[in-house]
Structure 1
Amino acid sequence: MRKRTRILGRTLAAAGTLAALTVATAVPATAAPQAKAAEPTSVEQDIAQLYQDVEDLYNGLPANALRGVDPLFDSPVKRPGQQAHAAQGPIPGCTEGSLLTYANKLASSLNPTEAKALSALSAIGQLYTQAVASDKTPQVFGTDGQYTPRAGATIDKLRGFWDIESWNIQLVTWKGTDLGSQERTTQTFKLGLDPKRAAEAGALATKVLYEVPALQGGRHPLLTLNAFSAPADSLGGKRIMLGDGLLDVVNHLGFDDVSVEAVVGHEYGHQVDFAHDNYPRDESGEMGPDAYGGYFGAHAKGEAWNARTQQEVTYLDASIGDCYHSHGTPDQRKAAGAWGEKQAVSQNNPNRIIPSAKMIEKFQKEYPKLMPPAAAALAAAH
């Protein structure tokens, strides 16, 4: 049906051009010629259709499908179905973190056609990872599998560290190259579209991936430059999703020594919140997991990192800070991570692990101190 529509569209366009030429012969020679709008290329038409397919897919999901699923940071390339978290902003005097700055640089290198294709495909990839993929099949972390051993070791350690139900928390890799599988993209579209349209949309998604060279066959970092954690009642159930693009960029920025452990530790912190039905709607929703991750990293029964490595983790926390009252500024996220580390190193008994419910309570008491009043921030900016 889409092919037939395109043929009809080209026929109508040709008829319109002929009519315009006929009218043009009747106007005075001094009249300024009207610029003819360029018709969309076949690739642009494919991308426009795919984008619509993805919007319809997200609109067709169950109401609670994305409940509690919040990205590590807000991507500079907004995707279909993505909600903006910023309630206000920008914050005066704030400079976004280095990872966000780098992500914005990557986004600015895309033309509008490439950005729209990436936006649609990234949304498909996230939904596949959240609801279709499973850790029952071998998971390969990193573009070349280089982070697989570290990812497995970290999730195993976290499951034994925090006192929450953990056996059913999956750790799933998010790979842009999965978009090259028509079977996987079709499975994803079936979550919200009828089987026939899902098959057409799945084939189109794979086609667009290779029609746009800038996407590098699924290896463009922005396709998977994030991480997510999902609660039990969301689509796909409890899981942590770790993007190849995020690991690549964090490595590029110099945080490779702590990348996997810090990011998975943070995302597992969301699972700690989920286990206690804690769904903050302010910056503490991201800063809390920074604190819990910092505690795990510094704790003798966690990663047991030394002071220098702990500091590196807090700088990684800062690198994902934003300036829009969304996930916390770089300074706030750094402070949250450092607070968590301090709870571990200042314990009288270094082997004692604070119960997760108590850790949430302690951080919620500390959180207001990490959030300076807006007036004070404005005064500092001037």
Structure 2
Amino acid sequence: MAAGTVAALALATAVPAAAAEPPTVDQDVAQLYQDVVDLYNGLPADALRDVDRLVESPIPRIGPRTQAAQDPIPGCTEGSLLTYANKLAAQLTPLENKAFDALSGLSQLYVQGVASDKTPQVFGTDGQYTPRATETIDKLRGFWDIESWNIQLVAWKGTDLGSQAKMAQTFSLGLAPAKVKNAAALATKVLYEIPALQGGRHPLLTLNAFSAPAGSLGGKRVALGDGLLDTVDLLGFDDVSVESVIGHEYGHQVDFAHDNHPRNESSEMGPDAYGGYFVAHAKGYAWNARTQQEVTYLDASIGDCYHSHGTPDQRKAAGAWGEKQATSQADPNRIIPSATMIEKFQREYPKLMPPATDQPAAAAVAAARG
């Protein structure tokens, strides 16, 4: 009995084992990043096929990257929208950058593979762009001669990252089922434990738009990011933003419908031209010359300098060419068939591109003069 009493006293007075330390923010971000990498690696092989974002994100991206030249084009200055986005990205710490990378990749997968226009879509941080977006997609569906009933228009909102249910649906697209619940909870946790993310409202999370073809994850759709709309507003293009961006992204649907998948800058400049044709056309928005010019400057603002999407000057020229096709028609009400528009632009495209062999020569001349 004495021995038993001593043993009981020893157990009662033993120092309890140290509790496990809670994970740090750095550990949370690292785990979330790995979860999103695993999610992308678990997607079907063609899930992201031919999906191309409107602009090259200034933050690192999980998933396939657009192929671009390593060196910038001599004498080229990136457009104002990209310059502003790069400025925002430069303010991030390495930890914040990694969190943005994971969460922006996750939010794109949600809007591409889970979101649906079967539920009400709200465009803009306060819903201020919803009427314009709805009107624009309706006009485009009746304008171009392609199958349009199944092209969804969906809102890309960083605040969706705050819903564990939505994130669980997203992780279920490619993550092992046993990991889905914890990964979804972690995504929401990281969203709110890093102040720079602004609860999903930081513009960099959704500073983009994209168009997806029928064979990709989620099927035919156009996604319009709140961060893109906010930034375009800040840069002074608010009165043409929604119509121009959706017109461009719908232009990708025109290319998809005709199996036109160019692997050069015409993949983005073509939709600039189709969008310009739409906003200037009598049966589109019939915008006047001043507003048409504003559209071309918006096109220029998203130009880059890496043989990727077209330089600011090239994108401006493509949009202006499309507008001219509308305003110079003998019959202002005639809509050029979409297949014909593609052919016309492909003939025009080489004129908008300086010969590659001329660029080193021009750089050498500039250096000699300098």
- 1:293 has 2:275 as partner: yes
| 1:41 Cα offset (Å) | 7.0
> Contact 2:209 / 2:225 at 8 angstroms: preserved in 1?
yes
Residue equivalent to 2:153: 171
| 1:182 Cα offset (Å) | 0.3
Q: Distance in 2 between matches of 1:376 and 1:332?
A: 16
Out of 264, 269, 285, the position equivalent to 1:303 is 285
- 1:345 has 2:294 as partner: no
Residue equivalent to 1:328: 310
Count of residue correspondences = 346
Out of 356, 361, 365, the position equivalent to 1:374 is 356
> Contact 2:116 / 2:154 at 8 angstroms: preserved in 1?
yes
Out of 77, 91, 114, the position equivalent to 2:59 is 77
Out of 93, 96, 101, the position equivalent to 1:114 is 96
Q: Distance in 2 between matches of 1:359 and 1:293?
A: 11
Residue equivalent to 2:196: 214
Q: Distance in 2 between matches of 1:346 and 1:41?
A: 64
Q: Distance in 2 between matches of 1:376 and 1:85?
A: 22
> Contact 2:52 / 2:66 at 8 angstroms: preserved in 1?
no
Q: Distance in 2 between matches of 1:380 and 1:265?
A: 35
SS at match of 1:374: coil
Residue equivalent to 1:67: 49
| 1:120 Cα offset (Å) | 0.4
SS at match of 1:94: coil
| 1:194 Cα offset (Å) | 2.1
Q: Distance in 1 between matches of 2:286 and 2:175?
A: 47
Q: Distance in 2 between matches of 1:60 and 1:195?
A: 11
Residue equivalent to 2:29: 47
One-letter amino acid of the structure 2 residue matched with residue 171 of structure 1: L
One-letter amino acid of the structure 1 residue matched with residue 58 of structure 2: P
Give the TM-score normalised by the residue count of structure 2: 0.92
Q: Distance in 2 between matches of 1:268 and 1:89?
A: 30
| 1:80 Cα offset (Å) | 1.1
- 1:280 has 2:293 as partner: no
Q: Which moved more, 1:73-82 or 1:333-342?
A: 73-82
| 1:380 Cα offset (Å) | 4.1
- 1:154 has 2:140 as partner: no
Q: Distance in 2 between matches of 1:86 and 1:76?
A: 14
Q: Which moved more, 1:367-376 or 1:257-266?
A: 367-376
> Contact 1:98 / 1:319 at 8 angstroms: preserved in 2?
yes
One-letter amino acid of the structure 2 residue matched with residue 61 of structure 1: L
SS at match of 1:240: strand
Q: Distance in 1 between matches of 2:64 and 2:243?
A: 27
Give the TM-score normalised by the residue count of structure 1: 0.89
| 1:378 Cα offset (Å) | 3.7
One-letter amino acid of the structure 1 residue matched with residue 322 of structure 2: G
SS at match of 1:349: coil
Residue equivalent to 1:25: none
- 1:270 has 2:257 as partner: no
Residue equivalent to 1:184: 166
Residue equivalent to 1:98: 80
One-letter amino acid of the structure 1 residue matched with residue 325 of structure 2: Q
Out of 33, 56, 73, the position equivalent to 2:38 is 56
Structure 1 residue runs of 4 or more that deviate by more than 3 Å after TM superposition: 377-381
SS at match of 1:67: coil
One-letter amino acid of the structure 1 residue matched with residue 340 of structure 2: K
Q: Distance in 2 between matches of 1:169 and 1:94?
A: 35
One-letter amino acid of the structure 2 residue matched with residue 127 of structure 1: L
SS at match of 2:125: coil
One-letter amino acid of the structure 2 residue matched with residue 97 of structure 1: G
Q: Distance in 1 between matches of 2:150 and 2:313?
A: 34
Residue equivalent to 1:20: none
Q: Distance in 2 between matches of 1:81 and 1:358?
A: 34
Residue equivalent to 1:358: 340
Q: Distance in 1 between matches of 2:233 and 2:360?
A: 34
Deviations 1:320-374 (A, max 9, x none): 0000000000000000000000000000000000000000000000000000012
Q: Distance in 2 between matches of 1:375 and 1:330?
A: 20
| TM-align CA RMSD | 1.3
Q: Distance in 2 between matches of 1:159 and 1:130?
A: 20
> Contact 1:93 / 1:377 at 8 angstroms: preserved in 2?
no
> Contact 1:88 / 1:325 at 8 angstroms: preserved in 2?
no
Alignment of 1:5-24 (within 5 A): none
Q: Distance in 2 between matches of 1:75 and 1:149?
A: 27
SS at match of 2:53: coil
SS at match of 2:146: coil
> Contact 1:132 / 1:187 at 8 angstroms: preserved in 2?
yes
Unaligned runs of 5+ in 1: 1-5, 11-39
One-letter amino acid of the structure 2 residue matched with residue 178 of structure 1: D
Alignment of 1:229-268 (within 5 A): 229-268=211-250
- 1:201 has 2:191 as partner: no
Residue equivalent to 1:319: 301
Q: Distance in 2 between matches of 1:141 and 1:272?
A: 23
| 1:199 Cα offset (Å) | 1.0
